[in-house]
Structure 1
């Protein structure tokens, strides 16, 4: 066998070997991927700060006799005042519930002073820590406690609110995946204008998502990584969003090389050599940024880091191996009807990005200053962001549990309708009870369950839940009850807010340093990385400002999720730098070929502008899917990231980064050798004759 035949055989074998490898990998991952849903947990302890009082309360409660308690409040209300028949109906329904379920004690009705409302606190250990049994218990109670004859009956309380939230998180499984796939499919069809090509990156992204599910399950089993509905949903979005971005860049470069190189195998090798470093660095920044979340104290944030990283790396592996293999095997015909013929040149058209580059090239300082003023003005809108999101305002559409909470707040203004739970060592129960009763802001306190060396003290505050008055009561209890833990729904929200502030102060600097180091290594410069990092930070501030202008006035949201600032920063910095890498890496390529700084910058924008715009639209659309979810926190996160990506793609990347590069000239590559002397133009190598 001659040398030429050996080369041809190798070319034919490599794609098939890669396909076989992926078949084997997916076969191994399949049993684990199917189990990911079984280990997904959306209990409050899966989202709380790891070291907070409220977390300790929730975990100790799980160990008390009967395990985790499901607490409900049955609310019976009639605007004109309850009738005797209403009270009889309430008693009969509660008695039926007590007969069908193992309740903790006999429920006692508490009437409101105005006579319009009667509430029955109900608690049970029956479901334990089984989320499916808890949801089934809540649904069973709601089936019995139903409205009739003008009497409004609502089932609320912490257990009901947790069930309502879990139903929303269930949408982050199948419905989120299907919606994401549909959105990406439509965009790819519009971008490629081909009946076949769009299927390839979409199918590869789907296989990468399936692989990520298997790897995520393995991480959980090996290291105890927390798996929640939020983290798995974000992982899927990252696989399709980031993965499709990488595919767009690779396919665009592959199309270029097919015009220069005859054989698809050789064209793909050239494409991967050209854009591979940018794709690797891009995925590296995202992975590094997400892994920085391991430094967070909030359980939900810390668990999201590894799972998000898994999604990005699985997408990277698929797009650098499986996608090229399939494209090479399908050959040029996969681009039909716009097939890039060997030796052809694409039609030269005046593109939008060439026009943008021309304006930035003529007056770079003016464009740069104008853009900076615009971003600064938008950032001022962050001052209008609503305060911290209350528990009852966390749903887009109010569920029954929230309606019940609001009914209680109106009917019992003299007391809180949501207990504060204090856990104290059993030998100090009496002293703790006395101290709690003597604390300012406490309406009443009584002893609850005892076991495992601990005693519950149930405290009712004078002020409504999650008001400044109740917050002062919780803080006073924590100050006075040394050695005890103060928890409950309101304490959990307080801990979430404080821990998010702490996590932001810790994680943000780590993310900035990590991303900056990766950019320095890739671009071999200090100035260019600083420009890119400054640009994405400016985008983050401006996007939060846009959120402040629309969240309450347009969306009607009554608060901002405490974790929005940190999560949006991590995602916008990590993902936004992606497009800067694509642009700057191509700019550096042109400079290495001897192009003058202005020419290199404008050429890079002209050649990468289209693919960056397409990638930005896809990524924004995938995160935009979260706008259809039922939790305000997810809608806010999806909005901020989607708008931030679009702002970065069409303003910052095209105008401001290009303008800064033109204005600085060779200094943009300081202190690398490109900043000192012009580079001798590299003569294109003659392509070898086909063998």
Structure 2
């Protein structure tokens, strides 16, 4: 049956009034979604959580200790450390000014009662430290901002001041994410708009495509914000950024595929409705398969231990769902309304040729690529595989075993600068101790083990008798502490037979040195049974986070591979082709990560990477990279049924070459936009995915896969009917 007769049948089966009503109803429905969801953009930052401890699994020691701290302290607090420094020594006038600052800090909203320590002088006399306990459930970042503002106005000239510690670092992270929904969105949309204008050479079509992507993003943000408000999922700043980029990139990619089919259909059909029906029939299977593959890959993150990884799965999957819905409903409705005018000034003319055959007379990049593949298939795919394998060698230098929390922000960080001052003049772990929960009757034994451990500077026990809340512990026992009315004999606070100790470490709480000390403590103290000792705090949180991230990486990567392989087998009705497609994408990922490692270490000189970085890079690259192979191979299969496998490969390559390359450039550009945010994790993910997508688009999908498939021939479809010769 011809396309024309199919279109005529479609017109007869759908009344004229319904052909008008359907697109109008779809457009109005999406406008209503946009109006309802637009306000959600302003609420994203309000529901986002950026505290590392919030993302740990409930079973982690650091999580359990964090919950117990509230019981022992009576308040859920997060410490901020104020550090003052003057070269040549802090003067008496400085001490007087610091005293006035302490009095004022105690009155700031968000600082708990009796939550400001006395001034603590460094041994060299050049620095002073103050510990400020901030209500963790309040507006702590606003409290830090007020602290910093007051210090800027009231610190004596020549005396530097910085707010650091966990509260200061948290505020710096929030500041780094501030404006994310504006800056990131503007950069991503601007880049995509320029690319679309170049691709389509049309003023209207890029706006239609971008409008579709924005509506998908608006709907996704609205749903995610409502779920975060209901505590169904946890939303972080980095998850928010990835969601925005993923939806814009994916929705634009799916739109490009539909637009390509619609333009073809307008050459074959005179009426817009017939062209729309043909374009939907031709593009929907590939778009649904691609989106379904990405969704399935992302939902594998639900098996993660780390709650931040687990949360990203459904959040990103929701985004892809709306990208699919928008590309298959709103975009066709808008293009049905616009018709050929959407492509002005280069309108597709009814009856004009749109050949996919490859012969000596065909001109252009993709016919040339198809001829190269058909003439020297083995040379092409072997050369591509060798290039990718060589690039993968860089993996040996990949440093993905975690970085200190202070390195999370790549731009200026007052907390990081203040921590450097603390390291110069105080024990590095001052203000960020390792928190130890132990049985009451094991105090002496635990204290001796802790104090004998290298890397521990001092030890204190939580007690309600001391005005400061803690009393120092030595090898000889608990030292007398200062109470409200003078020296007192301090007794540990006991809850359910447990006491809480705080060990000040030599290294900063977020340093590798502190993590090594905590690991040594955990190995030296019992971790099970009635004598179990739990260790939490900043260093322990980093350890538990990295361990969970490593576990997730080792579990999720093979799980994603298996899920995608199964989906491809069902889609292509073959075993061999999906296996080869997955292998090519894995090779492409290894090459992208190898090159990224060289760039991170040599060019950007990053301090390292979180263990989650390779996993996220893999999930995005494999799930999104396989999209382009799906776009290609579904078209190849369609052409192979009509023309045979080898000609189907060349036809499919020519038919999809332009649209897939455009889609790859768009997706790479949108992920590259993440680099505008001063966040180490996002900077690394943006480079890995952007470079990897370009590698997939230019080498894997354009040359390696077609050449390998051409070399194998019809056996690529084994064991389906297409793999057998026609009788």
Q: TM-score, normalised by structure 2?
A: 0.87
| Contact 1:390–1:559 (Cα < 8 Å) also in 2 | no
Return closer, same or farther for 1:414/1:67 CA change in 2, 3 Å cut-off: closer
Shift of 1:185: 1.6
| Contact 2:199–2:662 (Cα < 8 Å) also in 1 | yes
The correspondence of residues 124-203 of structure 1 with structure 2, limited to 5 A, is 124=134, 127-130=135-138, 133-146=139-152, 147-203=155-211
Shift of 1:188: 1.4
Shift of 1:36: 4.7
Return closer, same or farther for 1:540/1:518 CA change in 2, 3 Å cut-off: same
Asked if residue 557 in structure 1 is aligned to residue 587 in structure 2, the reply is no
Asked if residue 397 in structure 1 is aligned to residue 403 in structure 2, the reply is no
* 1:637 aligned counterpart, secondary structure: helix
Structure 2 CA distance for aligned equivalents of residues 432 and 123 of structure 1? 26
Asked if residue 289 in structure 1 is aligned to residue 323 in structure 2, the reply is no
* 2:95 aligned counterpart, secondary structure: helix
Shift of 1:216: 1.6
Alignment-derived partner of residue 478 in structure 2: none
Shift of 1:611: 0.4
Shift of 1:605: 1.1
Shift of 1:590: 0.7
* 1:456 aligned counterpart, secondary structure: strand
Asked if residue 117 in structure 1 is aligned to residue 136 in structure 2, the reply is no
Asked if residue 418 in structure 1 is aligned to residue 436 in structure 2, the reply is no
Structure 2 CA distance for aligned equivalents of residues 284 and 23 of structure 1? 25
Alignment-derived partner of residue 78 in structure 2: 70
Asked if residue 471 in structure 1 is aligned to residue 481 in structure 2, the reply is no
| Contact 2:106–2:114 (Cα < 8 Å) also in 1 | no
Shift of 1:19: 2.6
| Contact 2:515–2:543 (Cα < 8 Å) also in 1 | yes
| Contact 2:439–2:533 (Cα < 8 Å) also in 1 | yes
Return closer, same or farther for 1:38/1:464 CA change in 2, 3 Å cut-off: closer
Which whole-Å deviations, capped at 9, do the CAs of 1:549-578 have from their partners, x for residues lacking one? 111321121111221011111111100000
Which whole-Å deviations, capped at 9, do the CAs of 1:149-190 have from their partners, x for residues lacking one? 222111111110011111112333222222222222222112
Return closer, same or farther for 1:129/1:105 CA change in 2, 3 Å cut-off: closer
Structure 2 CA distance for aligned equivalents of residues 643 and 399 of structure 1? 28
Aligned residues: 673
Alignment-derived partner of residue 445 in structure 1: 459
Which whole-Å deviations, capped at 9, do the CAs of 1:236-271 have from their partners, x for residues lacking one? 111100000000000011000100011111111111
Shift of 1:328: 0.4
The correspondence of residues 233-248 of structure 1 with structure 2, limited to 5 A, is 233-248=241-256
* 1:315 aligned counterpart, secondary structure: helix
Shift of 1:492: 1.6
Moved more, 190-199 or 285-294: 190-199
Residue of structure 1 aligned with 2:218, choices 210, 226, 232: 210
Structure 2 CA distance for aligned equivalents of residues 201 and 607 of structure 1? 20
Shift of 1:434: 5.1
Alignment-derived partner of residue 632 in structure 2: 583
Alignment-derived partner of residue 390 in structure 2: 377
Asked if residue 627 in structure 1 is aligned to residue 675 in structure 2, the reply is yes
Alignment-derived partner of residue 459 in structure 1: 503
Return closer, same or farther for 1:401/1:193 CA change in 2, 3 Å cut-off: same
* 1:267 aligned counterpart, secondary structure: helix
Structure 2 CA distance for aligned equivalents of residues 615 and 22 of structure 1? 24
Return closer, same or farther for 1:356/1:240 CA change in 2, 3 Å cut-off: same
| Contact 1:389–1:562 (Cα < 8 Å) also in 2 | no
Asked if residue 541 in structure 1 is aligned to residue 596 in structure 2, the reply is no
Alignment-derived partner of residue 643 in structure 1: 691
Return closer, same or farther for 1:50/1:512 CA change in 2, 3 Å cut-off: farther
Alignment-derived partner of residue 255 in structure 1: 263
Residue of structure 2 aligned with 1:406, choices 411, 417, 420: 420
Shift of 1:195: 1.1
Return closer, same or farther for 1:414/1:7 CA change in 2, 3 Å cut-off: closer
* 1:553 aligned counterpart, secondary structure: helix
Return closer, same or farther for 1:66/1:274 CA change in 2, 3 Å cut-off: same
Structure 2 CA distance for aligned equivalents of residues 499 and 67 of structure 1? 28
Consecutive unaligned residues in structure 1, runs of 5 or more: 680-691
Structure 1 CA distance for aligned equivalents of residues 291 and 429 of structure 2? 53
| Contact 1:537–1:573 (Cα < 8 Å) also in 2 | yes
Shift of 1:294: 0.2
Moved more, 278-287 or 405-414: 405-414
Structure 1 CA distance for aligned equivalents of residues 287 and 198 of structure 2? 23
Structure 2 CA distance for aligned equivalents of residues 46 and 439 of structure 1? 29
Structure 1 CA distance for aligned equivalents of residues 618 and 651 of structure 2? 30
Alignment-derived partner of residue 466 in structure 2: none
Shift of 1:114: 2.9
Structure 2 CA distance for aligned equivalents of residues 649 and 452 of structure 1? 60
Which whole-Å deviations, capped at 9, do the CAs of 1:190-220 have from their partners, x for residues lacking one? 2111111111111111111111122223434
Consecutive unaligned residues in structure 2, runs of 5 or more: 1-8, 356-360, 463-468, 470-492
Asked if residue 355 in structure 1 is aligned to residue 355 in structure 2, the reply is no
Shift of 1:429: 5.9
Structure 2 CA distance for aligned equivalents of residues 72 and 42 of structure 1? 16
Structure 2 CA distance for aligned equivalents of residues 406 and 240 of structure 1? 40
Structure 2 CA distance for aligned equivalents of residues 654 and 80 of structure 1? 65
Moved more, 657-666 or 146-155: 146-155
Which whole-Å deviations, capped at 9, do the CAs of 1:439-492 have from their partners, x for residues lacking one? 443221112365865643211123454555433321232230533321222222
* 1:551 aligned counterpart, secondary structure: helix
Structure 2 CA distance for aligned equivalents of residues 475 and 263 of structure 1? 71
Return closer, same or farther for 1:105/1:342 CA change in 2, 3 Å cut-off: closer
* 1:458 aligned counterpart, secondary structure: strand
* 2:162 aligned counterpart, secondary structure: strand
Alignment-derived partner of residue 490 in structure 2: none
Alignment-derived partner of residue 710 in structure 2: 662
Moved more, 383-392 or 205-214: 383-392
Structure 2 CA distance for aligned equivalents of residues 286 and 460 of structure 1? 46
Return closer, same or farther for 1:567/1:128 CA change in 2, 3 Å cut-off: same
Moved more, 615-624 or 351-360: 351-360
Shift of 1:17: 2.9
* 1:534 aligned counterpart, secondary structure: helix
Which whole-Å deviations, capped at 9, do the CAs of 1:602-636 have from their partners, x for residues lacking one? 11111101100100011011111111111111100
Return closer, same or farther for 1:462/1:182 CA change in 2, 3 Å cut-off: same
